[in-house]
Amino acid sequence: MITKTETVSRRDSASHAATIRRGAALGPLLFCGLLSLGCGGTPHDHGGSCAQETRAEVYMAGLEKTGKQGALVFRLLDSQPGPPQKGDNTFTLAIKNSAGVPQSAATIAVTPFMPDHGHGSPIKAEVSELASPAGSGQYRASPVNLFMPGLWQITVSAQASGGVSDSAVFAFCIEG
Ligand SMILES: [Cu+2]
């Protein structure tokens, strides 16, 4: 319902932030006007905070997802800080196959994206397998750079050593 066409230079972050704030203020008003439901409380709550973001998941340590292909299972063991905050975060992930076997020596990528703004993060997360516990298929990704408030979709993709590939998306709303 809202089509935004904006050309955003990452270097122009102040202007970007101003654009986003206008969008954030407008979105909930339109949403509530259309639905006429579920928008009780004071209108002053509608500041673009995460309280009205229905696409986000509630963070908890151990949040687990089956990949889109049904081939691998992705568990977010931990985020530091947790829940994820604006700025740099460190994710610890565990990857298993559908039979529950930990996937060691997989190639993992962690890629944040803001769907409402059409951009990712300029900083690439480095991913490395934890040496201990050995063979547990646990990986650390850092920094998971979520540099703006709003909804982030964080895609974790994995190519297991056996050649199986899969991915899952964790969606978190980041408070300003
Ligand atoms: Cu953004």
Whether 5 has a pLDDT exceeding 50, the answer reads no
Which tens digits make up the pLDDT trace of 95-129? 999 999 999 999 999 999 999 999 999 999 999 99
Query: Which phi and psi angles does 92 have, rounded to 5°?
Result: -110, 125
Cα of 121 from ligand 1 centre, angstroms: 9
Residues forming beta bridges with residue 170, ordered by sequence position: 154
Cα of 154 from ligand 1 centre, angstroms: 13
**Cα–Cα distance measured from residue 144 to residue 112, given in angstroms and rounded to the nearest whole number:** 7
Cα of 67 from ligand 1 centre, angstroms: 25
Cα of 119 from ligand 1 centre, angstroms: 6
pLDDT of residue 48: 62
Q: What mean pLDDT do residues 141-170 have?
A: 97
Whether 9 has a pLDDT exceeding 90, the answer reads no
Residue 71's identity, in one-letter code, is A
Domain ranges, ordered by start, for the chain: 13-48, 63-174
Helix, strand, coil percentages for the chain (3-state, nearest 5): 15, 40, 45
First to last CA, the chain: 24
Sheet with 119-120, edge to edge strand ranges: 119-120, 107-114, 150-159, 165-174
Query: Which phi and psi angles does 52 have, rounded to 5°?
Result: -95, 5
CA atoms within 13 A on the CB side of 51: 12
Whether 44 has a pLDDT exceeding 70, the answer reads no
pLDDT of residue 49: 84
Q: What mean pLDDT do residues 51-72 have?
A: 97
Give the domain 63-174 fold: Immunoglobulin-like (2.60.40)
Cα of 68 from ligand 1 centre, angstroms: 25
